[in-house]
Structure 1
Amino acid sequence: MDNRISFEEIFEQNKRRIHYQIHKLNIHDPHEEFFQEGLVAMWRAYESYQPDKGPMATYFNYMIRNRMIDAIRKDTRKNEALEKIIHQRKTQLTDGNYHRKSDATNPLVDAQHLPMHDPNLWNNLKSQLTDKQWKWVHYRIILDMPYKEIAEAENVNVEAVKSWGKQVRKKFKDPEFRKAINLDNSL
């Protein structure tokens, strides 16, 4: 006959240990996800407990605490990966070289594939733009300068530089403009 106490009894006697570890680790647990982790840890500790190795209470505390710390680390890694993805998406949406239709983002001109050493393309483009629009292309696309630095170099505010960029992007959307500067054939 098995003299072991049932897990239900062990749980009732020790469920405060789970709450204690949640509090001690300063975990906000509105959905009781960490309580569930603690419960699983207690079950595993109950199943693997060896009386000759030490007191059951100490073993429970150890298992519950470590399981919760592992869960915190897992959540942290997941959140860091999500933040990285969000940051990349924001960068993609705000780099000034994209236009939006609904939720899709399409590059106007992929600067990586521009023939940077093609003087004909740049001369055609310059002839079709105002001085300020050309300055935006030169600083932003060719030199890859941030808006703030462009504004400082031209002694204007950042909004003015963004306005130049909007005008250029509007022109890049126009198929006739692209044809006039021979952009699609250059890529």
Structure 2
Amino acid sequence: MNKELQFTFEEIFKQNERRIYYHIHKLRIDDPHQEFYQEGLYAMWNAYKTYQTDKGILSTYFNYIIRNRLIDLYRNKTKQKQHEIFTKSELEALDIHIEKVKEPFLWKMLQSELTENQWKWVNYRIRLEMSVKEIAEVEHVSIDTVKYWGRQVRQRLRNERYRKLLLDRRII
């Protein structure tokens, strides 16, 4: 912190708390669990600690830091949600119609083309419609591991050679 700053963080916070709410509202972020507020508060504290009086106005610096931290958090959360979603509708987007894969024989054929972990992901996520977190708990692995299995399956299902193999076997 720059020694020239003469106010405590508590005083600065009382004067600038509304900035956090302003940016949350301005960015149209729904914050029912106060995650974005917490991130904004942390950003304000960090800005307070790193502020240099000769570089510009404190309020401008707060606005810049808070807004960008909220945007970063929003992007990360959006990306996380997109990675978790892979359900029947996504299979259909890949032209894999779940109605065609209802027969146990066809599931067995699909299973024979996947690794054990890839099959676990397909079985839990698509057939049983479990969340990534639930799969991780059942399999006693990390959430990142389950997401990795899903990325492998997606990559395989999008591969033209693999899709042709499945088409030839009439799985999709």
TM-score with structure 2 setting the length: 0.55
Q: Does 1:22 align with 2:24?
A: yes
Question: Residues 45, 82 of structure 1: CA spacing in aligned structure 2 closer, same or farther, 3 A cutoff?
Answer: same
> How large is the RMSD of aligned CA atoms in angstroms?
3.5
Question: Residues 94, 5 of structure 1: CA spacing in aligned structure 2 closer, same or farther, 3 A cutoff?
Answer: same
Matching residue of 1:50: 52
More RCO (CA 8 Å, sep 6+):
2
Question: Residues 112, 24 of structure 1: CA spacing in aligned structure 2 closer, same or farther, 3 A cutoff?
Answer: closer
**Partners in 2 of 1:59 and 1:3 — Cα distance?**
14
**Partners in 2 of 1:65 and 1:141 — Cα distance?**
49
Matching residue of 1:96: 100
Among 57, 64, 67, the alignment partner of 2:66 is 64
Question: Residues 38, 110 of structure 1: CA spacing in aligned structure 2 closer, same or farther, 3 A cutoff?
Answer: same
Identity of aligned residues (%): 43
**Partners in 2 of 1:28 and 1:107 — Cα distance?**
43
- How far the C-alpha of 1:31 sits from its partner, in A, is 1.2
More strand by share: 1
- How far the C-alpha of 1:81 sits from its partner, in A, is 0.1
Per-residue CA deviation, residues 131-155 of structure 1 (Å, 9 max, x unaligned), is xxxxxxxxx9746386xxxxxxxxx
- Deviation >4 Å, runs of 4+: 87-93, 111-114, 140-143
Matching residue of 1:78: 80
2:85 aligned counterpart, secondary structure: helix
Flag the structure with larger Rg.
1
For structure 1, list consecutive stretches of 5 or more residues without a partner in the other structure: 101-105, 115-139, 147-187
Opposite residue 170 of structure 2, the aligned amino acid is: D
TM-score with structure 1 setting the length: 0.51
**Partners in 2 of 1:19 and 1:69 — Cα distance?**
14
- How far the C-alpha of 1:95 sits from its partner, in A, is 5.5
Among 31, 34, 47, the alignment partner of 1:32 is 34
**Partners in 2 of 1:90 and 1:62 — Cα distance?**
41
- How far the C-alpha of 1:35 sits from its partner, in A, is 0.5
